[in-house]
Amino acid sequence: MSGGFKLALAQFPAYTPHDWAEVEATLGCWVAEATQSGAQLLVFPEYASMSLAALFPPGVQRNLRDQIAAMQTLRDDYLSVHRRLARQHGAYILAGSFPWQRDDGRFHNRAWLCSPTGDSAFQDKRMMTRFEREQWSIAGGEQVALKVFDTALGRLAADVCYDIEFPALAGAQADAGAVLILAPSCTDTAAGHHRVHVGARARALENQCLVAVSPLVGDAPWSPAIDVNVGSAALYGPPDHGFPDDGVLAQGDYCAPGWVYAEVDPARVAQVRAQGQVFNFRHGRETAARDAGRVRTQPL
């Protein structure tokens, strides 16, 4: 990444739009507010798209499988509005993730990153929660490519919600040059919220990088997918030279809708990796290489 920039993390509320015009107006207002505040990278949460299911008849709203099948009729418009807003406001936007159906019929939890040029690229979630696997049939796993994105702001990555709880994913992205990892989330319990944040803070420590969380908040009682949503946005770095002692660079109020802003300075990541009190990024890789296959069982 070259130079610093302002980051906007949405504590985006689940809501009940009445028509597509309201969807566009809502997203337009949110993006305008953030960019008028100077944000160059905007992050929306996991499954922020699921409010779109309110546009369908009640029977579809109540059925998880019917919801995601019907939402495929809106997916191109959903991506288009984010691409248009990114181009209009000259910002990068990580759209709220969408249950996207592939040509083989499988559904993936897909987060699109849209650029100021109107181009877009996506990261599919790798690790599925029990809800996604057992009740929703959302696919993940090895068939999902792990990516980093080269942008005018530098190299970014996205680990969608549960993904940020697995060190190998963020580690591979950091090895590929990502110094900022975006973690859009959707959790319905305080425990789930804390799991995401514990994972995000651990990944920032292990990789001496920045990790940003953006949650869905609020209630949508009509939806079996996003009926309850809790959390807070945050930007974490390693607790070391150039960062706060607790590594917390920004933290939103729990469950309060709105933007949480933070200044991102990628040079601090390079500096702490070179001159920190500790060298987690370097030493972690040295240890992994040295100890691979060397764990012994010791009888007592």
CA dist 201 and 212 (Å) reads 9
Return the pLDDT at 292.
Answer: 67
- Whether residue 114 is predicted with pLDDT greater than 60 in this model: the reply is yes
Q: Give the domain ranges of the chain.
A: 5-291
pLDDT category, 18, cuts 50, 70, 90? Answer: very high
- Residue 106 — φ and ψ, nearest 5°? -75, 150
Mean pLDDT of the chain: 94
CA dist 100 and 224 (Å) reads 18
User: How large is the average pLDDT for residues 27-42?
Assistant: 98
CATH architecture of 5-291: 4-Layer Sandwich (3.60)
Does residue 8 contact residue 259 with C-beta atoms inside 8 Å?
A: yes
Residue bearing the bigger pLDDT, 172 or 284: 172
Return the pLDDT at 101.
Answer: 94
90: tokens are: 């000259």
- Whether residue 156 is predicted with pLDDT greater than 50 in this model: the reply is yes
Give the global pTM.
0.95
Contacts (Cβ under 8 Å, ≥6 apart) of 25: none
HEC assignment per residue over the chain? CCCCEEEEEEEEECCCCCCHHHHHHHHHHHHHHHHHCCCCEEECCCCHHHHHHHHCCHHHHCCHHHHHHHHCCCHHHHHHHHHHHHHHHCCEEECCCEEEECCCCCEEEEEEEECCCCCEEEEECCCCCHHHHHHHCEECHHHCCCCCEEECCEEEEECCHHHHHCHHHHHHHHHCCCCEEEEEECECCHHHHHHHHHHHHHHHHHHCCEEEEEEEEEECCCCCCCCEEECCCEEECCCCCCCCCCCEEEECCCCCCEEEEEEECHHHHHHHHHHCCCCHHHHHHHHHHHHCCCCCCCCC
Per-residue model confidence as pLDDT tens digits over 235-283: 999 999 999 999 999 999 999 999 999 999 999 999 999 999 998 989 9
